[in-house]
Structure 1
Amino acid sequence: MSLVGGALEVGIGGEREVLLGFLSEHRRLLREIVLDLSDEEARRSLVPSLTTPMGLLKHAIFVDTAWFVCRFGGATRSEAGIPETVDESFTLEGADSLESLAARHEATVAAADQVIDRLGLDATCVHPAMGELSLRWVLTHCIRELAQHAGHAEILVEQIKAARSLTLT
């Protein structure tokens, strides 16, 4: 499995390599899509939910931390520095910037990958509502979630860029 021109080349490799390749690709895509904006633009709310481009990046930090550092790694959310609820993970603080969140995202990915590297695909964690879940299931879930959020980010960024070009003309 390799990246060709920034895109994931899938076709050979074991199950673990394929899952980790897609997880890595969607993490990168979400970060890169959002980083194409200014901080002010990335804070813009275009939908009635808490979803903003910058909020999606902050939520991606929450996803990797909650699943891998906390559920599989044993840290509490408080110890890991993430909020208790999913909704709170989209909430932006005054000090949040694209630069700080991108750096935090990269550090979070590295910490999550350290946990993942120690586990087999059949390793399990316990989720309070869903029960026992395998690493294989959680990786697949995170791939789906990050792909979905990268799509959300892409649409929001496209709208923001369109509005930017209208104000320039």
Structure 2
Amino acid sequence: MAEGSALDQRTGEERQLLLAFLDEHRRLLRETVLELSDEEARRRLVPSLTTPMGLLKHAAFVETAWFPCRFGGRTRAEAGIPETVDESFQLEPGDTLAGLASNQQRAISQADDVISGLSLDDRCTHPVMGELSLRWVLTHCIRELAQHAGHAQILVEQIVAQRD
């Protein structure tokens, strides 16, 4: 936990705490990946599509898919995101860390705009899981971003170790 962060408020209201944890994991993922060069961040160290840069790209997808799309009513095509999760990790030749970090920030801003108009009990519909409350989705996104921040930390550690 970063000193002076919103997470220092350990007795806040439920919404405040959920949003603080969400923001913390958004930041951790971005800052971890931005330790690398563009070339390093494209490296695949595992058989899946997971790369540091891909994790950052996927994080923006998650923000957009859940909030402007599921809760805001936009289609994925309207929001400019891929139809499948796997596609959200795929890198384009022109992708850069700076560009993807900016895209993530923009996706966070749009997600936060949607979230600000909702209560924790408001619901969206997922085609497989059915009705889900904002409370559930925020908790899910916190878990997912925490996992991806951990993935990024391990990948970055491996890449940095190979610099020498």
- Tell me if TM exceeds 0.5: yes
**Deviation digits for residues 46-68 of structure 1 (CA, Å, limit 9, x no counterpart):** 00000000000000001000000
In structure 1, how many angstroms separate the alpha carbons of the residues matched to 2:126 and 2:28?
A: 27
Partner of 1:112: 111
Q: Does the alignment pair 1:159 with 2:129?
A: no
In structure 2, how many angstroms separate the alpha carbons of the residues matched to 1:138 and 1:152?
A: 21
Partner of 2:72: 73
CA drift at 1:10: 3.8
The structure 1 segments of at least 4 consecutive aligned residues displaced by more than 2 Å after TM superposition are 3-8
Partner of 2:88: 89
Gaps of 5+ in 2: none
SS at match of 1:126: strand
Partner of 2:37: 38
Partner of 2:53: 54
SS at match of 1:119: coil
Q: How many residues align?
A: 164
SS at match of 2:154: helix
Partner of 1:131: 130
In structure 2, how many angstroms separate the alpha carbons of the residues matched to 1:7 and 1:38?
A: 29
- Paired letter, 1:130: M
Partner of 1:142: 141
CA drift at 1:6: 5.3
SS at match of 2:36: coil
Q: Give the alignment's TM-score, normalised by structure 1.
A: 0.94
Q: Give the alignment's TM-score, normalised by structure 2.
A: 0.97
CA drift at 1:85: 0.2
- Paired letter, 1:4: E
Gaps of 5+ in 1: none
Partner of 2:100: 101
CA drift at 1:137: 0.1
In structure 1, how many angstroms separate the alpha carbons of the residues matched to 2:3 and 2:41?
A: 28
- Paired letter, 2:125: V
